[in-house]
Structure 1
Amino acid sequence: MRLHIITVGEPRLAYARAGWDEYEKRLRRYHRLQVTRVTGRTQAQESEAVRRAAGRAPLLLLDPRGTQFSSEGLSAYLDAQAVGGVGELALAIGGPEGHTDDLRAGAHRLWSLGQLTLPHDLAMVVLLEALYRAATISAGEPYHRA
C-alpha cells in the first residue's frame, strides 16, 4: 500500500529533521511512500491544500479529537485497509491551528497521537515512527516489544 504523508510545513529543528529522515528511510522498506509539504496563510488555506494533495485517497487526519491506536491497533488498521483494497492512504498532520471542521467532516478517519500537546516538529517524527513500528509488527519483526 502507498502511504501519502501530507504535512503543513516540514521539520525545522535539527533533531526533528534527523528523526524524520531516519524513519522515512526505514518506512520505505515496507510501504511505497509519498511525502507532500503544503503551506497556507490561514487554517482554511492549509486545509484546502491538504484536501487537494490527498486527492481521492482515503484521508486519515491527525487530530486530537480522533481515535487513539495502540501500536498493534494501528498495524491492524493499516493491514485491514490494504486487504480491503485501499491502494493509497493519505495521512495528514496540520499546522499550528489544526484542521478545519470541514476537512475533519470529509476525512475517512481522525487519529489522535494522544492527549499530550506535542510541538509540530516532534509530532511529525512521532507519526513516522508509529507508522514504522506498525509496519514491523505486520511483518513479524522484533522492533516492537510490548
Structure 2
Amino acid sequence: MRLHLITVGEPRLAYAKAGWDEYAGRLGRYHKLRVTRVTGKTQAAESEAVARAAGKAPLVLLDPRGRQFSSEGLAAFLEAEAVGGTGELAFAVGGPDGHTDALRAGARRLWSLGELTLPHDLAMVVLVEALYRASTITAGEPYHRG
C-alpha cells in the first residue's frame, strides 16, 4: 500500500527529526512511502495545500474531533483500506490551528491521537510510529507487545 504523509512544516526539534527519520525509515519496509511538507500563511492556505498534495488519495486527517484507534484497530483500518480502497492513503498533520471545516468534510477519516494536545513535532513522530506499529502487527512481527 502507498502511504502519503503530508505535514504542515517539518520537525524542527532534534528529537523529532531523529524520531521521524527512524520511524519513516522503518515504515518504508512495509509501504511505499511519500512525504510532502506544505506551508501556508493561514489555516485556509494550509488546508488548500494539504488538499492539493493529497490529490485523489483518500485523506485521513489528524484532528482532535476524530476517532481514536488502538494499535490493532489502526492495523485493521489499514488492512481494510488496502483490500477495498485505492491502494493509497494520505495522512495529514495540520498547522497550529488545525484543518478547516471544508477539508474535514471531505476527509475519509478524522483520526484523533487522544485528548491531550501534543506539540506539532511530537504529533508527527507519533503518526509515523503508530503507522509503523500497525504495520508490524499486520505482518505478525514482535515489535508490538501488549
State TM-score, norm by structure 1: 0.99
How many residue pairs end up in the alignment? 146
The whole-number CA distance in structure 1 between the counterparts of 2:137 and 2:23 is: 15
| RMSD, aligned α-carbons | 0.5
1:37 aligns to what SS in structure 2?
strand
The whole-number CA distance in structure 1 between the counterparts of 2:13 and 2:42 is: 22
Gaps of 5+ in 2: none
Partner of 1:47: 47
Matched, 1:56 2:56: yes
The whole-number CA distance in structure 1 between the counterparts of 2:93 and 2:100 is: 12
Alpha-carbon offset, residue 87 of structure 1: 1.2
The whole-number CA distance in structure 1 between the counterparts of 2:74 and 2:85 is: 17
Could you list the per-position Cα deviations for residues 80-136 of structure 1 after superposition, in whole angstroms to 9, with x for gaps in the alignment? 000114211000000000000000001011000000000000000000000000000
The whole-number CA distance in structure 2 between the counterparts of 1:85 and 1:121 is: 29
Counterpart code for 2:73 = G
The whole-number CA distance in structure 1 between the counterparts of 2:57 and 2:120 is: 24
Partner of 1:4: 4
Matched, 1:35 2:38: no
State TM-score, norm by structure 2: 0.99
1:98 aligns to what SS in structure 2?
coil
Partner of 1:23: 23
Partner of 2:111: 111
After TM superposition, which residue ranges in structure 1, 4 or more long, deviate above 6 angstroms? none
The whole-number CA distance in structure 2 between the counterparts of 1:4 and 1:58 is: 10
The whole-number CA distance in structure 1 between the counterparts of 2:101 and 2:93 is: 14
Gaps of 5+ in 1: none
Q: Percent identity?
A: 81
Counterpart code for 2:129 = E
